Amino acid sequence: MAKKVAIILADEFEDIELTSPKEALEEVGFETEIIGDTANAEVVGKHGEKATVNVSIADAKPEDYDALLIPGGFSPDHLRGDAEGRYGAFAKYFTKNDVPTFAICHGPQVLIDTDDLNGRTLTAVLNVRKDLSNAGANVVDESVAVDKNIVTSRTPDDLDDFNREIVKQLED
């Protein structure tokens, strides 16, 4: 049975930070599912890319997935704005249980809501790094940072390295 990757997503995601890792994972046989506010709803990226939500956050069970992917753009800000904190709670399952967790650009913002970053080494886009540091993370300026089950990356320029590492994490 193929490993299944949850992708939490809202409007204004950075298009290539969804499409490139998703394609890299699917090319090697992993299944992906987009989780958002409402099943079958369409979310739209900053540059017009459209994606359909497969499973609503209300119905998503983190234990059904082998990994979590959090693309950047402004989507993570919308996810963190969920009044019930459902996306942070969903992500916390992965960080607390050492399940592979992948975030790029602004994506690591969602990980702040897990309260599980103290001492973890992460990277992100420049304007998110201070927030990660304030949450207790050791922040580095590298194309990819790997800390146990968490893989983070800075920007679309780092997608080749990021994609290679997330596939490697799931193949191991």
> Residue range 67-86: average pLDDT?
96
pLDDT at 172: 74
- pTM equals 0.98
pLDDT at 2: 83
CA distance 57 to 136: 27
Q: Is the pLDDT of residue 19 over 80?
A: yes
Question: Pick from 133, 123, 117, 122: which is nearest to 154 by CA?
Answer: 123
Tell me the two tokens of residue 146: 């790997």
Active site residue ranges: 105-106
Q: Report whether CATH 3.40.50.880 matches the domain 4-169.
A: yes
Contacts of 39 (CB under 8 A, 6+ apart): 53, 54, 55, 56, 59
Question: Pick from 68, 162, 66: which is nearest to 114 by CA?
Answer: 68
β-pair partners for 31: 4
Q: Which amino acid is at 130?
A: K
CA angle 92-4-39, nearest 5°?
Answer: 75
Burial of 130 (0-12, 13-18, 19+ CB in 10 A): exposed
> Residue range 69-81: average pLDDT?
97
Phi first, then psi: give them for residue 21, nearest 5 degrees. -65, -40
CA distance 81 to 164: 31
Question: Pick from 61, 85, 71, 64: which is nearest to 159 by CA?
Answer: 71
For the stretch 92-130, pLDDT in tens is 999 999 999 999 999 999 999 999 999 999 999 999 999
